[in-house]
Amino acid sequence: MNFGPAHSADEPEINLIPFIDVLLVVLIFLVLSTTYSRYTELQVRLPHADATPLQVRPPELVVAISADGHYTVDRQPVDGRNVVVLAGRLREAAGGRLDTVVIVSADALAPHQAVVNVLDAARRAELSRLTFAAQGSAAGR
């Protein structure tokens, strides 16, 4: 028995170049023969409405809150930060109309308690229609 190193002929070499050529041809064939469908648009039929536009806008009160917590109601400063005083000023500015919309326009650095005081004052003045003014961010533009 011969346990020594075997005399082997040169090991066969696998040539990858024809294999790569065939794969490239298949890839080009697939790219050229594939059709791409776009499903980004939907066929939507929107309903129609024949409502008349709002003829009379309800009155509005703008309550501005500064960064240090001072209030103005329709550009008239309110003395003090008391909820009762603010409620009286809101009731007076609304003129007895309970459908008045209160727009809260608070500074971004205004204390949270100042905004809560406006909400409490509007409730005491029986003004239940509230909204908040906001400014769009610069990133969203």
pLDDT in tens, 13-57: 888 899 999 999 999 998 888 876 665 555 666 677 777 776 788
Cα separation, 44 vs 70, in Å, equals 50
What CATH number labels 60-132? 3.30.420.270
- Please tell me the pTM assigned to this model: 0.57
* Torsion-angle region of 132 (φ positive above 0: left; ψ -120 to 50: alpha; else: beta): beta
pLDDT in tens, 84-131: 999 999 999 998 888 899 999 998 888 999 999 999 999 999 999 999
**What 3-state DSSP class applies to 117?**
helix
Domain residue ranges in the chain: 60-132
Question: C-alpha distances in angstroms, 47 versus 26, 42, 51?
Answer: 49, 15, 12
Choose the most confident range, by mean pLDDT, from 4-13, 50-59, 73-82, 115-124. Answer: 115-124
